[in-house]
Amino acid sequence: MRAFWIVLTTLLVVASAGAFFWWPRADASPAIAAKQQGNAGGGTEPATQPKPQPVVVGKSYYVLLSMVEASPRTAKGSRWDADGSAPDLIYTVDWQGQQVFKSSKKADTLLAKWSNVSVDWKNLVRAVSLDDSIKAARITVRDGQSVTFKVLDADIMRDDLVAEWEVPVTQLKIGDQVFQSPGNPGGRLVQAHCRVLPLDRVEFETLVR
């Protein structure tokens, strides 16, 4: 009987989360609401993407990389791994001299994409908050500060640097922005897609799209 209630509770939480993600909300942006309603009604008109807005000093945000693309070869022109496979990509975010986020690993790929939301079945049973399921750095924007992104090839002995770059927090944009060929000669990265969302008013569709 206890197992039955655990399964039932899990299904209810998943259904509630799905409704929260996809049901048009009064406070959702017009573009997202229009896209949701259009999809529900079979419409084919593409939603207008809002123009990225600058972050606000004093406000807090989620900061993450939604996708990175590595070059086929390292900066030295060699293969990423000894067996000829593509790199196992991870990334980290540093803020105020501390590592505040480390991503999961995407194995054997030149193009890594992170969903940025991860719901574990055990966490669902324990009713962990949705905020805990968001896989992103959390920062507060202050003048003179920056965030550092590092993309790494995760290996057993040590992680090899693919690229590292620093961005003043006041230059971040709410929404998506693309860094083309970011980083130093430590590696080769074709592009990195950065996503910044307000901590107090996140729209979950923008996390999982």
Which residue ranges form the domains of the chain, and what is each CATH number? Answer: 1-50 (no CATH), 52-208 (2.60.40.150)
Kindly report the CA angle at 142 between 136 and 146, in degrees rounded to 5? Answer: 60
Q: What's the pTM value of the predicted model, to 2 decimals?
A: 0.70
For residue 176, give the nearest of 63, 94, 95, 92 by alpha carbon.
63
Q: Is the predicted pLDDT of residue 101 greater than 70, yes or no?
A: yes
**pLDDT of res. 125:** 47
Percent of the chain with pLDDT over 70: 63
Neighbours of 111 (CB within 10 A): 13
Q: Count Cα atoms within 13 angstroms, Cβ side, for 163.
A: 19
Intra-chain end-to-end CA distance of the chain, in Å: 37
189: Cβ–Cβ under 8 A, 6 or more apart, which residues? 68, 69, 70, 71, 151, 162, 163, 181, 182, 183
Strand order in the sheet with 160-168: 98-102, 89-95, 146-153, 160-168
The answer to whether 154 and 186 are in contact (CB under 8 A) is: no
**pLDDT of res. 82:** 80
**pLDDT of res. 158:** 82
Residue 202 banded pLDDT, cuts 50, 70, 90: low
The answer to whether 21 and 204 are in contact (CB under 8 A) is: yes
**pLDDT of res. 160:** 86
Please tell me which residue, 114 or 158, carries the higher pLDDT value.
114
Amino acid at 99: Q
Highest mean pLDDT, choosing among 88-92, 124-128, 133-137: 88-92
Write out the two tokens for 113: 């994409």
Write out the two tokens for 30: 């017009």
State the average pLDDT for the chain.
Answer: 76
Residue 45 banded pLDDT, cuts 50, 70, 90: low
Q: Is the predicted pLDDT of residue 134 greater than 90, yes or no?
A: no
pLDDT digits (tens, 9 = 90+) for 17-38: 444 333 343 344 334 333 444 4
Residues forming beta bridges with residue 95, ordered by sequence position:
98, 147
Q: Is the predicted pLDDT of residue 116 greater than 70, yes or no?
A: yes
